[in-house]
Amino acid sequence: MSGSAEDERLRVQQLRALRRRWLRDQELSPREPVLPPRQLGTVAAFWERFLQPGGLWRQQVHKAYQSGRFVVLRVLLPAWAITYYVKYHLQKSPHGVVTTNPRIFPGDRILETGEIMPPLKEDPHGHH
């Protein structure tokens, strides 16, 4: 029986050595991984240069985006909401700020010009 236990112990020792070697082989050296150089197209190369961290254009685009976002969220939307509320909820007339001009009938005086509206012409067809 001592022979099979010795064989088992030797087999376990060899498996441990193989596992250690396999784990050591999985570690990357400083020069790995070796990748082929990237071939970028014209548009991809432009965006690669354009979006490099710290680039002037990237900073300008970011500033424009931040200021536009501020204007929309902090100025335009609140102004629109206030205008909507005032126009449709605070005004006493039924249609808010929307008003119509007064009706003018024949013989009435137009306030802006002082003219008097002439009478309507008679309809010669007599359909009425």
Q: What is the pLDDT of residues 84-108, one digit of tens each?
A: 888 878 866 665 556 677 788 888 8
Model pTM score? 0.38
User: What six digits make up the tokens of 104?
Assistant: 């003018």
Angle value at C-alpha 24, between 19 and 30, nearest 5 degrees: 160
CA 31 to chain centre: 41
Average pLDDT taken over every residue of the chain: 85
The residue with tokens 């501020």 is: 70
Residues 6 or more apart in contact with residue 99 via CB below 8 angstroms: 93
Better-scored residue on pLDDT, 10 or 121: 10
Distance CA 55, CA 53 (A): 6
Arithmetic mean of pLDDT, 20-29: 92
d(CA 92, CA 27): 79
